[in-house]
Amino acid sequence: MIDCSILKKAGEYKNGSLKWFTPKEKSVVYLNVIDTDFYIGSTKDLHRRFSQYVYALRKNKYVSRKFQEKFNLAKSMDIYILEHVDESISNLKSREQFFIDKYSPTLNTTNPYSWYNMDCYEFENFLLDEHKISLNSFCKKHKIKPLEIKNAYRMLSKFSEYSNIPIWQLFASPKDVNGVSGVISCPHCGKPITIKAE
């Protein structure tokens, strides 16, 4: 178990309300403690993330049954900061994984509906880093359900892996893939490939 007395307590949920002890926390790995159990996660906006937790938990619709059941019994949770991380989502996720591996939290599960467990992390990272738009905003803008994107990405990932072609090349023109028209390049090293017909 983690010694919470040495951690910065960011907030708590008690008696039906969420109370914050810190200003808005950005890009953190956090510890969510419910009774003697705990969950480790990461977020770019801690206050927004916990508002989402509370909303789903109050409606008894949180994605993790184990987490929901613990909350239903305790009706409270404490929020601690494990670490502040730079803005990159990949850094956030790698630091979150570090703490998960180190402390083996009792409430973290491999949830099949979790975005990060579906090998679609790169797409969300691309949307946020390159286009400054979240997955949910992207889906609303294009009238697409997030699950449709996740399933499509999972299928393309498997096809890409099976055919040994990077996903981006599935949608690129031959000129983009080969560089110079008529020259075929090795997808691993980029050197030209010469084909001789007999």
Rounded Cα distance, 120 and 113, in Å: 11
pLDDT higher than threshold 90 for residue 81: yes
pLDDT value of position 38: 93
Whole-number pLDDT of residue 79: 95
pLDDT tens digits, residue range 147-172? Answer: 787 778 778 777 776 676 666 667 76
| Helices then strands, each counted (H, E), the chain | 8, 7
Q: pLDDT band for position 37 (50/70/90)?
A: very high
Whether 19 has a pLDDT exceeding 50, the answer reads yes
Under 8 Å between Cβ of 24 and 33: no
Residue 97: burial class (beta carbons within 10 Å; 0-12, 13-18, 19+): middle
At 120 the pLDDT is: 59
Q: How many CA atoms lie within 13 A of 82 on its CB side?
A: 23
pLDDT score at 180: 46
- Give CA–CA dist 101/190, Å, rounded: 37
> Mean of the pLDDT values across residues 48-73?
86
Q: Supply the pLDDT for residue 31.
A: 95
Q: What percent of the chain has pLDDT over 90?
A: 23
Q: What pLDDT does 191 receive?
A: 72
Tell me the per-residue pLDDT of 95-138, one tens digit each, with 9 for 90 and over: 888 898 888 898 887 543 344 444 455 666 666 666 677 777 88
pLDDT at 116: 44
- Whose tokens are 């467990």? That residue is 117
